[in-house]
């Protein structure tokens, strides 16, 4: 009997072990089932990050508009703004000249279209304050803006979301890119300020360091009056442009190098403290000598009027190239009384600097479709750009428009008089954007770089003592 009980007990233990063994695989096979929902959630998580960006209503319209042609945008504008009021604001008064042309274009599509408009041009760099104040409204007053100074645009307008960039499809196509691929702001044009000197005397300038030599006081719009001038100085410290300054210095005769050498040497520690590249001391030396010597002016117009007069012997300035267009010839005043330094044979170093007029839609625009259409019209047609195209030294960012503009205005051969005849003045024979940005060594504004060094280099510049003509 005991044996039977023992056998039965053994059998029960075996059965229990078998039962335990049969449950273990069940547990392991269930585990993946409980993990399945977790892994499904993991695969769904990236899908949430790929969802459409958190765009404002204006940005959604811009995203759609960037896939449309000018004519398609025009139809949207007609639908949106017929019979309404359009407010624009800009650093250039030419926006007021471009708007009637834009309205006339829309009327070729719908003869019954009509829109009232007003264009404002704030003085003393107040455009940033005006746009910032307008951005606080749910729906703003200004539909769009044409604005300069890449540094402040980046820090005060784009980063806070006051302005939105719109890249027209036709403009992108002309530049071999797309709205998605293109990085940066949309430039209407690049303008240049160039070194010019009165040639009625015996003085010549064949190197950019000549403009900061002992006793020189070039006429220049003060950097606190027009901030793009300060951006020019910021850009000189970028490695490629600093290398240009060193290269120009090395082209000087030994005795002229000797004058600048102590300042360059003194700037080596400053360049290191500011985190500049290997040639930064050359850039800082030129900036220091320039700020401490230039004769500050309130506008480029008076600078031009001074230099083209025969009495301005041995004077020079750094000014907007297009001002030469407005010179009225007389017995003592002539464009032939000046020379553009970079055009002279053997000239070494930078010929001037270039900055852009940028176009933006305000993020709370009351007429975003019309703003996009107007921007596309100015950047994609020669008629739209014509308000600016009549000036030499202003280059459309659209290569097709730039080519047509040159065909219309003949800037490369001295321009065209009001009666349609060609007038030749050597200084007005614009060599064009491609020449200026290569042979002419034009220093081009980079908004991102300017914003990066505005505190460091900018603070250093603020410590310099400006020259006082008095």
pLDDT in tens, 141-158: 999 999 999 999 999 999
Residue with tokens 């300060």: 230
Backbone angles phi, psi at 157, to 5 degrees: -115, -45
Domains and CATH numbers, the chain: 57-188+357-389 (3.40.190.10), 202-351+435-462 (no CATH)
Burial (CB < 10 A; 0-12, 13-18, 19+), residue 421, is exposed
Is 365 within 8 Å of 371 (Cβ atoms)? yes
Q: Using the Cα atoms of residue 398, residue 399, residue 401 and residue 406 in order, give the sign of their dihedral.
A: positive
What integer pLDDT is reported at residue 17 of this predicted model? Answer: 39
Q: Report the 10 Å Cβ neighbour count for 177.
A: 13
- Listed in sequence order, the residues at least 6 apart from 43 whose beta carbon sits closer than 8 Å to its beta carbon are none
What integer pLDDT is reported at residue 43 of this predicted model? Answer: 30
pLDDT in tens, 13-67: 433 434 434 333 333 333 333 233 322 333 333 333 334 579 999 999 999 999 9
Rounded Cα gap, residues 363 and 160, in angstroms: 10
pTM score: 0.84
Rounded Cα gap, residues 458 and 451, in angstroms: 10
Is 131 within 8 Å of 142 (Cβ atoms)? yes
Burial (CB < 10 A; 0-12, 13-18, 19+), residue 336, is middle
Backbone angles phi, psi at 297, to 5 degrees: -125, 160
pLDDT-based confidence at 424, cuts 50/70/90?
confident
pLDDT in tens, 80-114: 999 999 999 999 899 999 999 999 999 999 999 99
For 231-260, b/e burial (b = at least 16 CB within 10 A) is bbbbbbbbeebbebbbebbebbeeebeeeb
Rounded Cα gap, residues 146 and 148, in angstroms: 7
Rounded Cα gap, residues 101 and 70, in angstroms: 14
Mean pLDDT of the chain: 89
């Amino acid at each position: 009997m005991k044996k039977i009980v023992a056998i039965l007990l053994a059998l029960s233990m075996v059965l229990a072990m078998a039962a335990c063994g049969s449950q273990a695989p069940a547990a392991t096979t269930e585990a993946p089932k409980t993990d399945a929902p977790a892994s499904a959630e993991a695969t769904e998580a990236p899908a949430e990050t790929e969802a459409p960006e958190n765009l404002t209503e204006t940005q959604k319209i811009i995203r759609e508009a960037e896939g449309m042609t000018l004519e398609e945008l025009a139809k949207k504008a007609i639908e949106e703004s017929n019979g309404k009021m359009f407010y624009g604001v800009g650093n250039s008064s030419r926006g007021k000249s471009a708007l009637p042309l834009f309205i006339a274009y829309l009327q070729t599509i719908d003869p019954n279209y009509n829109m009232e408009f007003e264009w404002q041009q704030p003085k003393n760099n107040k455009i940033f304050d005006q746009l910032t104040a307008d951005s606080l409204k749910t729906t703003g007053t200004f539909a769009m803006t044409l604005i300069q100074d890449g540094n402040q645009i980046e820090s005060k307008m784009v980063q806070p979301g006051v302005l939105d960039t719109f890249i027209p499809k036709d403009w992108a196509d002309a530049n071999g890119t797309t709205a998605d691929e293109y990085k940066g702001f949309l430039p209407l044009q690049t303008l240049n300020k160039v070194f010019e000197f009165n040639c009625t005397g015996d003085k010549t300038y064949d190197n950019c360091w000549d403009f900061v030599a002992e006793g020189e006081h070039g006429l220049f719009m003060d950097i606190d009056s027009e901030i793009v001038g300060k951006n020019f100085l910021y850009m000189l410290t970028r490695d490629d442009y600093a290398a240009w300054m060193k290269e120009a210095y090395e082209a000087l005769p030994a005795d002229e190098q000797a004058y600048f050498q102590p300042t360059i040497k003194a700037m080596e520690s400053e360049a290191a403290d500011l985190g500049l590249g290997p040639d930064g001391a050359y850039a800082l030396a030129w900036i220091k000598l320039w700020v401490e010597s230039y004769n500050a002016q309130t506008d480029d117009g008076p600078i031009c009027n001074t230099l083209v007069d025969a009495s301005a012997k041995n004077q020079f300035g750094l000014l907007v190239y297009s001002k030469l267009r407005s010179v009225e010839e007389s017995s003592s005043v002539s464009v032939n009384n000046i020379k553009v330094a970079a055009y002279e044979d053997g000239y070494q170093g930078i010929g001037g600097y270039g900055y852009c007029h940028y176009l933006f839609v305000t993020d709370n625009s009351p007429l975003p479709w019309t703003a996009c259409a107007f921007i596309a019209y100015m950047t994609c047609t020669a008629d739209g750009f014509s308000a600016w195209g009549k000036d030499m030294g202003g280059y459309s960012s659209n290569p097709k428009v730039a080519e047509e503009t040159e065909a219309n205005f003949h800037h490369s051969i001295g321009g065209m008089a009001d009666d349609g005849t060609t007038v030749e003045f050597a200084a007005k024979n614009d060599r064009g954007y491609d020449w200026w940005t290569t042979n002419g060594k034009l220093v081009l504004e980079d908004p991102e770089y300017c914003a990066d060094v505005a505190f460091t280099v900018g603070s250093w510049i603020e410590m310099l003592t400006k020259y006082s003509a008095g």
